[in-house]
Amino acid sequence: MAPLSGEFGDIGEEVKKHIELASDEVNAAGGILGRKVEVILFDTQTKPTVASDGAKKLINQHNVSAIIGDLHPFTTKSIRDVIEGHNIINITYGAVELPNGNYKNFFRTSPRYEESAQVTVDTIKNLEFKRIGILYGAEKYIPEAERIKSMLNKEGRDVVYFNSFNDSLHFNSNIINELIQKNPDVVYLAGSAREVAPFLKQKTRIPKSIKFIGGPNTKHSELIRLAGENVAEGFMSVALPEPEELGSKVTKKFLNKYKSRYQRPAESIWGGYAADAFKIVADAMEKTGSNDSEVLVNYLMNELRDFDGVSGKITFNKKGERTNDLYRAFSVNNGRNVMICSPGTKPCRLNPNRCCSIESSKRIE
């Protein structure tokens, strides 16, 4: 299930192509228990009622064994509510802001949005920033800002400034003046790329010693374009890597197949999460010899370990959440985002979007 039309139709189309490619790989290897896999695609249109009706149709008319989807949290919740009580599992490849709840048949190959906060805090610690300022844009980013503040306080970091900013080109000078007075080592900016870019233009009024780091929605070419390369230089962000920034052999092989088949590179990480959801369902059914949800849930929670997926290694916890860290820290360098490595490591020579030990060429996952 994917948004094949509407606002997120471009992502839905990539999800569809990733699923098609993944199913072809499974079928080429003999299918599941000797039977070819049939994929039934359904357009959720990013509408909860459409998604709910679609899930019912897939269950009652097509007798599916598993439902993969959706991208948006509201449609995924609708699907999840329908599935509860039926003998099938649901693996979403998106819905990063959707709380887990107490759904026994629900899994997620994508990370939860809150996980970015831990990576942000770890990055601030690794870079030895002691005094932190936090600014947020639209009201919806307040929880993100407060989460970062709480976690930093628990780590003994001093949050010296906490305030909001707007997305206007004309900022309240009081905010800039107060920020300069508080003199933080780094300022966390919670907001969208479009909101944060105008604020970064105020850097000329702020001491160069104050650094800036943003959340998942700031790692975007739009921020660099709107702020300008010179202004954006050195801006850090914590976000999900793009497909080409994933460096495993499994990832490269799959992405090469994708490019060869569709004559264009994969652009969305969500397609990779969807392909992994499909591959994991196929693996679980093949390994257990069953499509019974209880058997599959037990396998996914207790036996599946470090599954080699398109988006990296995958292991689930008892809540069906992926345990492997997926968010990465990046910094703008010469107009593009490059990965930040922790002390004792550096970008790998052959793949600068992974980190290697300074003392050896061993890759750090």
CATH class of 9-111+247-314: alpha beta
Rounded CA separation 328/119 (Å): 7
Q: How many CB atoms lie within 10 A of CB 364?
A: 13
Tens digits of residue pLDDT in 300-339: 999 999 999 999 999 999 999 999 878 989 999 999 998 8
Q: How confident is residue 225, by pLDDT bands cut at 50, 70 and 90?
A: very high
Rounded CA separation 98/164 (Å): 25
- Alpha helices, DSSP H only, in the chain? 9-28, 48-60, 73-83, 115-126, 142-154, 173-182, 193-200, 221-227, 229-232, 249-262, 269-288, 293-302
Question: What is each CA distance from 193 to 125, 208, 244, in whole angstroms?
Answer: 24, 21, 21
Residue 20, exposed/middle/buried by CB under 10 A (0-12, 13-18, 19+)? middle
Question: What is each CA distance from 189 to 207, 212, 290, in whole angstroms?
Answer: 17, 7, 48
* Residue 206 DSSP label: S
Boundaries of every domain in the chain: 9-111+247-314, 115-239
Tens digits of residue pLDDT in 65-97: 999 999 999 999 999 999 988 999 999 999 998
pLDDT of residue 17: 97
Rounded CA separation 92/108 (Å): 5
Q: How confident is residue 246, by pLDDT bands cut at 50, 70 and 90?
A: confident
Q: How many CB atoms lie within 10 A of CB 203?
A: 18
Determine contact, residues 124/185, Cβ cutoff 8 Å: no
Rounded CA separation 6/46 (Å): 7
Q: How many CB atoms lie within 10 A of CB 336?
A: 12
Q: What topology is assigned to 115-239 in CATH? A: Rossmann fold (3.40.50)
Checking if the pLDDT of 360 tops 50, the result is: no
* Angle formed at CA 313 by CA 311 and CA 317, multiple of 5 degrees: 110
* Residue 32 DSSP label: B
pTM for the full predicted model: 0.86
Q: What is the phi/psi pair of residue 223, to 5°?
A: -65, -45
Tens digits of residue pLDDT in 153-204: 999 999 999 999 874 445 567 888 899 999 999 999 999 999 999 889 888 8
Q: How confident is residue 357, by pLDDT bands cut at 50, 70 and 90?
A: low
Residues paired with residue 314 on neighbouring β-strands, in sequence order: 307
